[in-house]
Amino acid sequence: MYREGYLIKCGRSAYGPPRLLFCVFENGVVKFYSDKGGRVVGELEMAGHVTKVCVEKQMPGKFPYRFSVSAAQVVRVEGRRMKLSEPRVTEFAAPTNDLMKEWANSLHLWRRMNWKENVKFFDDSSEPSLAEELGLLQVQMHSMKTVRGHFIPGANLRKPSTA
């Protein structure tokens, strides 16, 4: 299964700044890039992990269209799965509600659908271009900039460097 597009990777804590990233999901790995064609800045491995994907409820002071991925590394011992670590939760925000559902379903169902290419779960949804995705997320980041757990509308947008 393959999916690509822009997402906001929300900070791990109230103090962590959100980052606007280009994400590529392929073969059970979500890779985060500084921009399309930019350098890899991280990844989320799903193979060999117990994963849970949840759509988050909209709340004031938080990005709309959020979903979270919880992944805990596991190993099989005599046919049983044993957790090797505590779950790592990563929260994302998508540009639109339809794209949030597409990303969440892709990540949730990747083991069952990994042999299919460009799966689209909701046929009636219209997907924006990558440039439109980027623009929508930049507007969201501009209006919801995090500073020590408080959101300040209109704060300066900080984007990762592409060097």
Confidence (pLDDT) at 115: 46
> What is the pLDDT at residue 157?
44
**CA dist., res. 49 & res. 20, Å (int):** 25
Exposed, middle or buried by CB within 10 Å (0-12, 13-18, 19+), for 31? middle
pLDDT digits (tens, 9 = 90+) for 8-47: 999 876 667 899 999 999 988 999 999 999 999 999 998 8
User: What's the pLDDT at 54?
Assistant: 94
The span from the CA of 54 to the CA of 66, in Å, is 9
Q: How high does pLDDT run on average in the chain?
A: 81
Alpha carbons 155 and 161: distance in angstroms, whole number: 18
The CATH number, out of the four listed (3.40.640.10, 3.30.300.30, 3.40.50.1390, 2.30.29.30), of the domain defined by the range 2-152: 2.30.29.30
The residue with greater pLDDT, 59 or 7, is 7
Q: What is the pLDDT of residue 11?
A: 80
CA distance 92 to 56: 10
Parse the chain into domains and list their residue ranges: 2-152
Task: Measure CA 90 to chain center.
Answer: 7
Query: How high is the pLDDT of residue 110?
Result: 82
Render pLDDT for 61-97 as a digit per residue (tens, 0 to 9). Answer: 889 999 999 998 888 888 888 888 889 999 999 999 9
Q: How is residue 56 written in tokens?
A: 């988050």
Residue 155 has what pLDDT? 45
> Between 55 and 116, where is the model more confident?
55
What is the per-residue pLDDT for 48?
84
| Integer Rg of the chain from CA | 16
Does residue 153 carry a pLDDT above 70?
Answer: no
CA 154 – CA 99 distance, rounded (Å) = 25
How would you classify residue 134: left for phi > 0, otherwise alpha for psi between -120 and 50, otherwise beta? alpha
What pLDDT band is residue 151 in, cutting at 50, 70 and 90? low
